[in-house]
Amino acid sequence: MLKNYKPKTAGTRNKKSIVFEVTNNKPEKSLIRPLNGPAGRSNGRISVRHKSRGAKKFYRIIDFKRNKFDIPGKISSIEYDPNRGSLIALVVYKDGEKRYIIAPESITVGTIVMSGEKVEFTPGNATRIANIPVGTQIHNIELNPNQGGSMARGAGNFAILMAKEGNMAQIKLPSGEYKKVSVECMATIGVVSNGELRNRRLGKAGINRHRGVRPSVRGVAMANPSDHPHAGSYKDNGIGMPSPKSPWGWKTRGVKTRTRRHTNKFIVKDRRK
């Protein structure tokens, strides 16, 4: 649910935050790990720009593999996770083990979830793609069998199972790309929770700093050409070169930099076309 603010300050004038419907404010101690050290740095040097540690938080260990088969688990609580956009759910299995999973939409405390070969096709249950009917909305999809879910995990995202041909399935991803995946890969039924995240407005730059995002400066706004290829007196009349460059001089914006010769065969339809 979105919350609007009265424009009492500049930071609240356009602010829209999300009121999370969580049932527990403290994470399970056995499933958290500290996030220590700097962010975006290697031996003290910046290796990834525009990153900082941000507010202190713990990492929640999420079960992306869903490999606890044929043992029913009960949703104990719905919790907020500062490391991702979606909510997470604490599952307590019949044998006493506790695991976090990505919470799908419409899941509530007390719901029974399970992973295995014979499961109901209700949100939160996980099974192999071979068992899922065509046209089903799925998330947390494995790219390779037993690797753990890596696709369609963001808030409000889902993929659609379009077809199954032999030992391969065709999936429409949230980006619009059609991709082939082995039917032996695991996937979870349903849509990822917290779809309203895209409507949130932070309101001020300070909130982004709390989230671990440092400021970024456009190249054309820099004064010295030693800082960026676009820098200098080009603020009002383009970038001064035929093609845009990165701060290190290579071509960017529209130039493909990734070679996919080994994985192109799995892409049925590119998201750009």
| Domain ranges within the chain, ordered by starting residue | 18-198
CB neighbours of 199 closer than 8 A, spacing ≥ 6? Answer: 2, 16
Q: What is the spatial distance between Cα 101 and Cα 66, in angstroms, rounded to a whole number? A: 8
Q: What is the pLDDT along the chain (273 residues), one digit of tens a residue?
A: 899 999 999 999 999 999 998 998 899 999 999 998 899 999 999 999 999 999 999 999 999 999 999 999 999 999 999 999 999 999 999 999 999 999 999 999 999 999 999 999 999 999 999 999 999 999 999 999 999 999 999 999 999 999 999 999 999 999 999 999 999 999 999 999 999 999 999 999 999 999 999 999 999 999 999 999 999 887 788 888 888 999 999 999 888 877 878 888 899 998 886
Residue with tokens 């083990």: 97
CATH tag, 18-198: 2.30.30.30
Measured distance between the N- and C-terminal CA atoms of the chain, rounded to whole angstroms? 34
What six digits make up the tokens of 181?
């995946």
> Model confidence over 16-36: pLDDT tens digits?
999 998 998 899 999 999 998
Percent of the chain at pLDDT > 90 equals 84
* Residues 128 and 179: beta-carbon distance below 8 Å: no
Distances (CA, A) of 198 to 81, 110, 201: 16, 28, 8
Q: pLDDT at position 253, please?
A: 86
- DSSP code for 103: P
pTM above 0.85, yes or no: yes
